[in-house]
A and B are shown apart, each in its own frame.
Chain A
Amino acid sequence: MDLSMRWLSDYVDIGEMSINEFCSGITMSGSKVETHKTEGSEISKVVVGKLLDVKPHENSDHLMVCRVDAGTGEPLQIVTGAPNIREENIGDLVPAALDGSTLPGGVKIKKGKLRGVVSEGMLCSLGELGLTTHDFPYAIADGIFILKQETDKPLVPGMDIKEALRFNDTTVEFEITSNRPDCMSVLGLARETAATFDLPLNIKEPSFKGAGGDINNDLKVEIVNKDLCSRYCAGVVKNVKIKESPLWLRERLRASGVRPINNFVDITNFVMLEYGHPMHAFDIRYIDGRSIKIRSAKEGEQITTLDGVERTLTDKMLVIADEKKPVAVAGVMGGEYSGIMDDTTDVVFEAACFDGASVRTTAKALGMRTDASSRFEKGLDPRMCMPALLRAFELVEELGCGEVVSNVIDCSNGVDTQKTAPFDPEWINNFLGTDIPEADMIRYLEKLEIKVKDGIAYAPPYRIDIERGCDIAEEVARLYGYNNIPKTIIRGVASGELTPEQKFTRTVLNTAAALGANEITTFSFISPKYFDKIRLPDDSPLRNTVVITNPLGEDTSVMRTTLLPSMCEVLARNYNSRNERVCLFEIGNEYLPGEGELPCEPARIMFGMYGDEYDFYSIKGIAERLLDVCGIPDVSYEPCKGVSETFGEAPAFHPGRCAEVFAGGKAVGILGELHPETAENYGIGTKVYAAKFNIPELFGLTRQKKYKPLPKFPATMRDLAVVCDDDIPVAHLEKAISEGVGKILESVKLFDIYKGKQIADGKKSAAFSIVMRSAEGTLTDEQADAAIKKALKKLSELGAELRM
């Protein structure tokens, strides 16, 4: 809402208050000011000039040399090329930009020479002053603005042009919340101003004299759909004179951001801006049968709206119709056909009240949000119709532009819309945490025209938001001043605690960082094409996504079912930024469609890394340590050759360098080197490693850690090298050793893998360091040898033999 301060001053006098004081005060009482600007602020040193003489330029056939009285003493010589300045214009008043003046758009005017003749300034057109012919209809667009006396104050040479044209209003832009459509009006903001600064308010009831006649001879009105139209008031103006509005009206519209058109259109806009209630004007010639029905549109019915667009309506929409056709989309826009033309003689004014939700849905469906619809959709009160209509007639008479028929038509569905709320000062103080005296509360409310009687607050018609005790508390609080409310601490005791799963997730988070991975945050939505980039087959279950019907773009159109593409994107971005070594992780949700209305949103941790010093065992090392710190027992790693029942991401990995991680009998993670194609699809020219773990599953497996006594007896160590088929996983060899050695095994660690000379093709040598220890006593060599022998027996079952 753009408020003209000049218009505001018609109703409340803010005196010497600075604009900044006004803006900050009214913001703090609840009407938030976005910004304010003053018209013509870019214009300086432009004055009213009187043409004393106009002569052709000696070196040009289109330039004219003028002598101009600009109130500066000696007349100035100004050269102009405008076609509308000729000898017959001598004596006219024009805007003269003096030497050193500025114009909108940062234009600076300096004294200079034009074809050898000195010009001490510039005569200005409307456009050069930032104005249009809508603002000054008597001027021409492409020529010097020849001024007309429009105010009581005589125009004299030397007068500042902004003052002469009254082009110096200040506009304050408000952000009005949806509960206060009344503040989308000058009167609404005048009331707020008066209440905020405790100033008198001078609003008078609108009235008109009337020129006789009976409207019932001219018009019939019937509300057919009483649910969507609560009131319809109409009046008729005859013998209208369509012309431009006077300056005072035009300038108020201009400062409010509305273009002046002609007096009747301007009056409807003026009333809407002043009262906050939209109005409409029809040419009565085009109302078939002189009968207006407010009814639902017929499915497929058509109307060309004022903007010249043909619209097809549905039966959900409300129209104003005559006997044959719709003449307006109710509350949204009028029809082009019945609009006010220059030859219009009789006009119908409408002030009506339509259902907010219906107007909103209709405006949305037709894709035309208008000043009217944006007011109706917030819910206006039917009691505001009549004052708006009366104000329009008052203006018609004031402008002398028609004869108002003395009576009006007023149809209503008869529903009482008076809003009330309980007024209980003690409750209000308890609710706010204040100690405001009842008398003060009543004073605040009365300033807002809320009447209090017998414990009940009665809202004025324009306050659609007052319904409950808390609404009254808010009115009291905002005039008392939110910041005068004492700050208190919540009473009572409470203990806050993270749930075990939240604590677990925090451990995962902190451990991942401690292991050298940097946390990232990425968007939850991705492009469905990313599934191709990570090599998922067409039938991959991960392609079953939650789809956004109105995404910003394809790149953000589906909710991710895996964190991997987001990780790859970030790795690629870092790779392109030439960050040499990058190790990252993200904890985030996946969105997995299921049976229910809403998807599952399980939490995952995804690691990703690249860099020269990393290999498969770097990512595996991170996994091992993470699971250890998190207390996950009995973890095993199995080769995953591009397929996994649990992890749809398996095809994104190198089939020979990928492991599925098992714990507690189920797959809880997947890790490895990404498939070279995956890396290539992201433009990463080096090996990329990734790992993913399912956090809820891990949490389900955590065991409370228990202390094991420190060893009392020394350990016995043996190294063992075996030769076996190359494709036997080391984990299987370790398992065999562990089974063979039995409970005296403390640890078994691989320290060497060898292939090549002395080892047959297709075989490998694996060397282990085995530590054995007993809690009962020092192991003898015999005991140790016997254990190793058993281990070798188990190994030979796998085809692994002692390397000689």
Chain B
Amino acid sequence: MKQKLEQILAAAQAELESCGDLKVMEELRIKFLGKKGELTSILKQMGGLSPEERPVIGGLANKVRAEIEQKISEKTEKLRADAAAKKMAAEALDVTLPGKAPEPGRLHPLTAVLEEVKEIFLGMGFDVVDGPEVETDHYCFEALNMPKHHPARDTQDTFYINDNVVLRTQTSSVQIRTMETRKPPIRIISPGRVYRSDTVDATHSPLFHQIEGLVIDKGVTLGDLYGTLELLMKKLYGDQAKIRLRPHHFPYTEPSAEVDLVCFNCGGKGCSMCKGDGYVELLGAGMVHPKVLEECGIDPDVYSGFAFGIGLERITMGRYNINDMRLLYENDMRFLGQF
């Protein structure tokens, strides 16, 4: 009997080893371990054994069963794993094929940069104020210390609707509207479209965007203007961004400055991008002229303030290395899709 048990074990091991299919495996389990299986039929003959032999054979039979079960379980696991691996292999995809998802739209680069600028100023406590683009001569010029026939009007070629109404040439008009309706302290920016009768080329457009800034409070200094603008540029362009102020003249600020950004490309040495200058002209700024404050009913002996006007196109083109302003208004999908 012992011999028979050993034969069953050997046969089971051999057959299980060569089995390559889970179905066959089940058949083998029934063949060896089932109710009518070979091991069961041997055990049924246990009654004919002597009491001495019984525990020995019984033990052996249990061991044989355990070993076959172990083998079945191992083999089943392996076959399952193989089958799974085979399935996975068959299901393998070319992961380099393009993905599918609804194509989201993009914001226009001017908007993308403007939203960023707004966030920066909101964080510095500025409100965002809107103003009309079709504007009276009063708000666009007169109240900004540029009476009719002021020579500085020459630098801003103006579109006229009639003698008294113009397309605003600058967002500074919003300064006046703001100071008329708000009392200091004032911190606002006012982004928007402005118009000058320039023909279209790579760096000019009859319509462009400015972001006006205005701060009015007690004790506001030219140093504050310098610090605020440098902070803005560092937030926009990174910590390496450096600006310089250069004396200039605007009728509505005194002192006035033009603000240049140290050229990224050459770091101020001069290259083709900055036309050899080392600097890129960025924006105009200054301390609000006392005449302008008086015009708006703010006492210049008590309050001071600064104002600036940033060209949105200029900072956007700088940000993305766009070399032709016309691209911004042509709106070709091959351009828009890049942002």
Contacts and interface: CB of A to CB of B under 8 A. Distances in A.
B331 interface: yes
Contact of B105 (A27, A482, A512): A512
Contact of B187 (A29, A496, A547): A496
A432 interface: yes
A551 B159 contact: yes
B126 A494 contact: yes
Per DSSP, are chain B's interface residues mostly helix, strand or loop, or mixed? mixed
A574 B332 contact: yes
A722 B245 CA distance: 75
B160 interface: yes
A513 B159 contact: no
B219 A491 contact: yes
B200 to A, nearest CB: 8
B246 A27 contact: yes
Interface stretch (B13-21, B43-51, B63-71, B133-141): B133-141
Interface in B124-176: 124-128, 130, 132-136, 147-152, 154-155, 159-162, 164-165, 167
B246 A32 contact: yes
Interface in B76-118: 102-108, 110-111, 115, 118
B248 A546 contact: no
A485 B334 contact: no
Contacts of B215: 490
A360 B155 CA distance: 14
Nearest to B249: A177
A582 B333 contact: yes
B247 A433 contact: no
Given A30-B247, A518-B337, A490 B331 contact: no
A286 to B, nearest CB: 32
A584 interface: yes
A430 B151 CA distance: 31
Contact of A432 (B124, B151, B152, B223): B223
Nearest to A482: B245
Nearest to B124: A496
Given A361-B149, A496-B126, A518-B105, A470 B254 contact: yes
B285 to A, nearest CB: 11
A308 interface: no
Contacts of B26: none
A431 B287 contact: yes
Given A494-B126, A516-B104, A546-B161, A598 B132 contact: yes
B318 interface: no
Per DSSP, are chain A's interface residues mostly helix, strand or loop, or mixed? loop
Given A32-B246, A177-B248, A516-B103, A488 B219 contact: no
B226 interface: yes
Contact of B336 (A32, A360, A488, A520): A520
Interface in A162-180: 177-180
A132 interface: no
Interface in A333-365: 356-357, 360-361
B224 interface: yes
Instruction: Select the residue from A518, A523, A547, A559 with max chain B CB neighbours within 10 A.
Output: A518
A582 B105 CA distance: 10
Nearest to A483: B244
Contact of A485 (B122, B136, B187, B223): B223
B185 interface: yes
A524 B161 CA distance: 14
A706 B126 CA distance: 31
A589 interface: yes
Interface stretch (B2-10, B34-42, B227-235): B227-235
Contact of B151 (A377, A470, A491, A517): A377
A264 interface: no
A378 interface: yes
Contacts of B29: none
B103 A482 contact: no
A361 B148 CA distance: 10
A29 B221 contact: no
A330 interface: no
Interface residues of A, number: 86
Interface in A567-607: 570, 573-574, 577, 579, 582-585, 589, 591, 597-599, 601
A525 interface: yes
Contact of B255 (A470, A502, A551, A577): A470
Nearest to B333: A579
Interface in A493-529: 493-499, 502, 506, 509, 512-525
A177 B217 CA distance: 29
B48 to A, nearest CB: 65
A739 interface: no
Contact of A473 (B102, B123, B135, B255): B255
Contact of B167 (A178, A378, A548): A548
A468 interface: yes
A598 B151 contact: no
Contact of A552 (B110, B133, B199): B199
B222 interface: yes
Given A514-B104, A598-B135, A495 B125 contact: yes
B60 to A, nearest CB: 60
A522 B105 CA distance: 17
Interface in A728-777: none
Contact of A523 (B132, B206, B248): B206
Interface string A177-194: 111100000000000000
Contacts of A597: 136, 164-165
Nearest to B291: A468
B161 A521 contact: no
Contacts of B132: 598, 601
Nearest to B229: A487
Contacts of B128: 496, 498-499, 502
A367 to B, nearest CB: 14
A521 B332 contact: no
Nearest to A494: B125
Contacts of A796: none
24 contacts: A28-B247, A177-B248, A178-B152, A356-B151, A357-B147, A377-B151, A431-B221, A433-B222, A433-B224, A470-B255, A473-B287, A482-B245, A482-B246, A486-B223, A487-B223, A491-B217, A493-B125, A513-B107, A518-B108, A550-B159, A574-B332, A579-B332, A583-B105, A598-B134
Given A474-B256, A574-B331, 9 more contacts: A482-B255, A485-B245, A493-B125, A494-B126, A496-B187, A519-B108, A521-B111, A549-B161, A552-B199
Interface of B: 102-108, 110-111, 115, 118, 121-128, 130, 132-136, 147-152, 154-155, 159-162, 164-165, 167, 185, 187, 193, 195, 197, 199, 206-207, 215, 217, 219-224, 226-228, 230-231, 244-249, 251, 254-258, 287, 289-290, 304, 328-334, 336-337
Closest 7 CB pairs of A and B: A433-B223, A494-B125, A433-B221, A30-B247, A177-B249, A474-B255, A487-B227
